[in-house]
Amino acid sequence: MPQLTERRRKFIEAYMSTGIATKAAEIAGYAHPNPAGARLLANGSIRAEIDKRVAKDPVAWGREELFGFWTEMANGKGRDGDRLKASELLDKAQAMFVQRHEVECNYRGKSDAEVLDGAIDEILGKGESVTTLLEKMRAQGYEVTEPDG
């Protein structure tokens, strides 16, 4: 099997961590990452190296391997609890369920939209949860109520 170039090794490393061929090609420095990613994944020596790494370390599974594993589990390869968890993980990974919150607030005469736009951008931009957003708004003097239900 031919030696892998440095850029191809970078692609493999990036693909193992992201599971996204286009992103991996971009990280590795390819000028046109979209076609390069698909082409590189189809390359026999690259695919063999990825398969070898996955076989050694299941924690390093890429997106395809995770989805395949979760699908097998959800389709009956595990106990009921495992099947349910695999189904939940598949749903979350595919963004099938969206958590929604309805919030009303009033702060110094500003409209809900004005208050929430700034607060949401500030809090969620840091990767924090909606619950954290609401707690911080209350701490800053906002009157925040969550409707029942």
Res 96: pLDDT: 64
3-class SS string, the chain = CCCCCHHHHHHHHHHHHHCCHHHHHHHHCCCCHHHHHHHHHHCHHHHHHHHHHHHHCHHHCCHHHHHHHHHHHHHHHCCHHHHHHHHHHHHHHCCCCCCCCCCEEEECCECHHHHHHHHHHHHHCCCCCHHHHHHHHHHCCCEEECCCC
Residue scoring higher pLDDT (15 or 124): 15
Domains belonging to the chain, first-starting first, are 6-58 (1.10.10.1400), 63-93 (no CATH), 104-145 (no CATH)
pLDDT digits (tens, 9 = 90+) for 35-54: 999 999 999 999 999 888 87
Which range of 41-55, 73-87, 127-141 scores highest in mean pLDDT? It is 41-55
pTM: 0.42
* CA pair distance 48, 46, nearest whole angstrom: 5
Compute the mean pLDDT over every residue in the chain, rounded to the nearest whole number: 77
- Of the pLDDT bands very low, low, confident and very high (cuts 50, 70, 90), residue 116 is low
End-to-end Cα distance, the chain = 61
pLDDT of residue 29: 94
pLDDT computed for residue 143 by the predictor: 75
